[in-house]
Amino acid sequence: MMLLNSSAKRLYLSLGNVVNYSSSKKYYDIVITGGGMVGCAMACKLAKEPALRGMSILLLEGGTNRNQYDFNAKKNTLDNSYSNRVSAVNKSTIQLLQSVGAWQIISDLGLCNAVKEMRIWNSGGGRSGGVNNMLTFNNDDDLAYIVENDIILGALYKQINEEQSITVNYNSRVNQCSLPDSHKDLATVKVANEETSFETSLLIGSDGYGSKVRSAINGQQYISWEYGQRAVVATLRIQSDEDDIYKGHVAWQKFAQLGPLAVLPLDNKTCSLVWTTSYEEANRLAELNDNEFIDALNDGLSEEKESNNSSLLLADDAAGIVSKVLNKYCQYNNDNQNRKIKSTPPVVIDVIKDSRASFPLGFGHACQYVGQRVALVGDAAHRIHPLAGQGVNLGFNDVIELSNQLNHSVLAGADIGDLNALLNYETAAQRHNVPIMLGVDAIQKIYGSSNNIVPPAITTLIRNVGLSFCQSASIIKKLLSDKASGLPV
């Protein structure tokens, strides 16, 4: 289990110019707090970095022991059952999961579903049925893959179990962190309800947006606010459209008055719902029975009620005129020009029993991702609205950036907890994360919430024109698509 013995520990610490350590505490080169998707990916990636091979890694998971996931049983189930928590993983994330051997497990068993097109529209489609403001993304390559969070975790834990350098401690929620003031000292972690403490040359906080590790960083400032919204999630059965060329591979998102409503494809007849709405509406939806919930959801996806509002009809007509002008004078996507875009969203016919749930939404960003012998990744460093599906992808990008910086630093002869390497990670990660976070927050404020000051017709017109502009300007669409992929633009 790669726990350093006393003499090896002293030699390693002396090479790193660390002079203060305790022989009574267990030592690991790297301690990762939080065994979620990002924490597990971090452990796997570090274990496979050439310069870090053989270093001892401790993963502290607050939950109970995860039994080996039976992927074959999942694959052979006649009636596919899905979890209500899924992720839309982008190309960069897929490359990361491939590099640690997890994606091969997921892909070979067919436990992922490609998104070949995304169709986005705003409420108030009126007479056009949403065509005037339908924004579509499609590509020769798949835009993203929808994968259940449990599947990703299962594949990562399978890889972790095969790595001798990784030790996993379950039921080990971090209670206290002590960070050094100097590189000559080590970081110390204490687990709740246990007397055991661990010393480490590098502590990586992946313990969620309520991170204990983040709060231990000296001088840390955490910028955060709540959106006053909840995300209602569920697994749905839909009426399959045999005429759609992308049947089973289309993601739909409607910017409704109270927040975005997304339907993500799991297979030809099953979708995952992420419905952002107000606290009051989320509570109302929770009290509905399944049949009432299905009716409310189909009403939310439909334009029929909105089409009777004269001011919204006028806004839709104006958006149609703007769309025609933009299509004439902007560079237009030929693929969409030559085919009729299907603007009718799927009809929900059933909701999987006990799949309905909800959780609060907010924004958060740590001004410091690093400190002496400490780094933050994932939700410990940042929290984002789910409307663009970028939350977990930002976390996986942190894993890529941090592992690259540590690998290069150790190859150059530096200590694993070298502050310069950590600062380089912070710079690279924030340059990637902050623009996406601010962009998503801006979209949420414009499209993702109700506005009691501006009249609905004006809001609808502004939203529709924005979508029409993006749809007509292929350069803008490509930039947005490339940025969402996570790959260098």
Q: Are 214 and 205 within 8 A, CB to CB?
A: yes
Per-residue pLDDT of the chain (489 residues; tens, 9 = 90+): 444 443 445 345 545 455 455 555 799 999 999 999 999 999 999 999 999 998 999 999 998 886 566 666 666 554 568 999 999 999 999 999 999 999 999 999 899 999 998 888 877 654 444 445 677 777 667 889 999 999 999 999 999 999 999 999 999 999 999 999 999 999 999 998 777 899 999 999 999 999 999 999 999 999 999 999 999 999 999 997 767 778 889 999 998 878 889 999 999 999 999 999 999 999 999 999 999 999 999 999 886 555 455 555 555 566 566 555 655 555 544 444 445 556 678 899 999 999 999 999 999 999 999 999 999 999 999 999 998 888 899 999 999 999 999 999 999 999 999 999 999 999 999 999 999 999 999 888 877 666 555 566 666 666 666 666 666 656 556 666 665 555 554
pTM for this predicted structure: 0.86
Which pLDDT does position 107 carry in this prediction?
A: 94
The reported pLDDT for the residue numbered 365 is: 98
> What's the pLDDT score for residue 446?
78
Distance of CA 23 to the CA centre of its chain: 40
Domains of the chain: 25-327+344-481 (3.50.50.60)
Query: Would strands 26-33 and 57-60 be described as parallel, antiparallel, or unpaired?
Result: parallel
